[in-house]
Amino acid sequence: MKYPKPLLTLIDELSRLPSVGKKTAERYAIHIFQKFSKEECEKLAQAVVDVKSIGVCKSCGNICEGEICSICSDPERDKNVVMVVETIKDLFVMENINEYRGIYHVLGGAISFAKGIGIDDLNISSLIEKVKNNEVNEIILATNATLEGETTARYIKALLSDYDINITRIAHGLPVGGDLAYADEMTILKALEGRKKYE
Amino acid sequence: MKYPKPLLTLIDELSRLPSVGKKTAERYAIHIFQKFSKEECEKLAQAVVDVKSIGVCKSCGNICEGEICSICSDPERDKNVVMVVETIKDLFVMENINEYRGIYHVLGGAISFAKGIGIDDLNISSLIEKVKNNEVNEIILATNATLEGETTARYIKALLSDYDINITRIAHGLPVGGDLAYADEMTILKALEGRKKYE
């Protein structure tokens, strides 16, 4: 016996979500079928469609409801400092600490040979454009401390080596409250490499 | 800075899926927004709505495309033996081993004081009805070996104690290929309780 066609279709569609396999998609689909009312299904469906009404900032790749996002169009933000992040989520995490006053550049991922994500899949060219137009003093590379993030950071650094700008990388080391005994080797290595004069 | 309204709505809707918290819903929503094309969003939305076109078998609670499911309407199945399962998924798991030839009764869950699921929330009355009408010889209680599943099994047994039918419970014990050293206490206890003459 097989699931009815509409359930199979929903399982298929849901299994395209990140880290959702057949089993999880099946659980979600059965839950939607059994526990959601018709109205709730329609609300979810509408939300899925509506999300595509959100636009992408032409300047930085952040999400926005117009053409330029609220950060890029904010006169208070320092347009000379650009923080390069992998994803919109990273941007929001950084924004939430309410400390950074420059603008952003969202790559939309990181170079990954394993996942087949190359340079052309990332929003890099418009960053180079900004630098070329002498709009930038400092580029803060805030890609993740993963193989992909490091590769991407190194690649951008190489691309921008001919321009007279500061290229910095956010610090990596032990997290605040972290215990040396429980840290992984790479973090300890990064913490050691990045040591500073204690004042 | 906050996410745009449509994204917040989608996160809200997705976080109603089982075991999906805000963080996971956020990941799914951003993925849908960034990686799904407009057509893909529409396909997913359509699938969510279409799933409600599936009906529920009036006789056993299984999903079906008509009024009575393919199992209940199959003349080859033994209508005198009814296996009581918690969910449709359990039914499908049992069906996939291609061994059981009776029919099913899907409760739609199990009694849970913690989750506030009572007797009235489950599809029990129609089971009693079937027994009353002398349609059943054996009831196989195949609810899970959890506190909720056991409670439900005991409750159904008590309800049916006045009727002259066989009430059986599926066996619980060590899974095939399981190692005694890695089994939990309850499983070992069940395995010991359920021991049989070795022939």
User: CA B193, CA A129: separation in Å to the nearest integer?
Assistant: 74
Nearest CA in chain A to B2: A92
**Core vs surface per residue B39-55: b (16+ CB within 10 A) or e:** eebebbbbbbbbbbebe
Nearest to A154 by CA among A119, A186, A188: A119
A95 touching B, CB under 8 A? yes
Any idea which residue has 């930085």 for tokens?
A60
What band does B172 get if pLDDT is binned at 50, 70 and 90? confident
CA nearest A39 in B: which residue?
Answer: B49
Confidence check: pLDDT of B179 > 90: no
Please tell me which of the candidates A6, A17, A51 has its beta carbon nearest to residue B53. Answer: A6
| A95 neighbourhood in chain B, CB within 8 Å | 1
What digits encode the pLDDT tens for the residues B124-149? 988 998 899 888 999 999 998 888 99
CB contact under 8 A, A47 and B9: yes
The predicted-structure confidence for A159-177, as pLDDT tens digits, reads as follows: 998 898 999 988 888 888 7
Q: What's chain B's average pLDDT?
A: 89
pLDDT band at A80 (very low <50, low <70, confident <90, very high): very high
The shortest CB-CB distance from A30 to any of B5, B42, B88 is to: B88
Alpha helix locations (H) across chain A? 5-14, 22-35, 38-50, 88-96, 125-132, 147-159, 185-193
CB contact under 8 A, B12 and A53: no
Of B36, B70, B108, the CB nearest to A1: B70
Scanning the structure block, which residue is given the tokens 């400390």?
Answer: A99
- The pLDDT of residue B151 is 92
* Cα A41 to Cα A29: distance, rounded to the nearest angstrom: 11
Interchain contact A13–B (C-beta under 8 A): yes
Residues of chain B with C-beta less than 8 angstroms from the C-beta of A16: 36, 40, 44
pLDDT at B193: 80
pLDDT-derived band of residue A21, with 50, 70 and 90 as boundaries? very high
Is B63 in contact with B73 (CB distance < 8 Å)? Answer: no
Interface test with B, best of A48, A50, A89, A98 (most B CBs within 10 A): A48
Compute how many other C-beta atoms are within 10 angstroms of the C-beta atom of residue B127: 22
Q: How far is CA A173 from CA A86, A91, A152, A187, B174, in A?
A: 19, 20, 19, 5, 46
Nearest beta carbon to residue A29 from set B4, B51, B96 = B51
What's the pLDDT at B183? 79
User: Cβ neighbours of residue B88 under 8 Å, at least 6 residues apart?
Assistant: A30, A34, B61, B62, B63, B106
Pick from A18, A33, A20, A46: which is nearest to B51 by CA? A33
Interface TM-score (ipTM) > 0.85: no
Q: What percent of chain B has pLDDT over 70?
A: 99
Query: In this predicted model, what pLDDT tens digit does every residue of A81-105 receive, in sequence order?
Result: 999 999 888 898 888 888 889 999 9
Tell me, yes or no, if A94 comes closer than 8 A to chain B by beta carbon.
no
**Closest chain A residue by Cα to residue B9:** A47
Residue B95: pLDDT band (50, 70, 90) is: confident
Percent of chain A scoring above 70 in pLDDT: 99
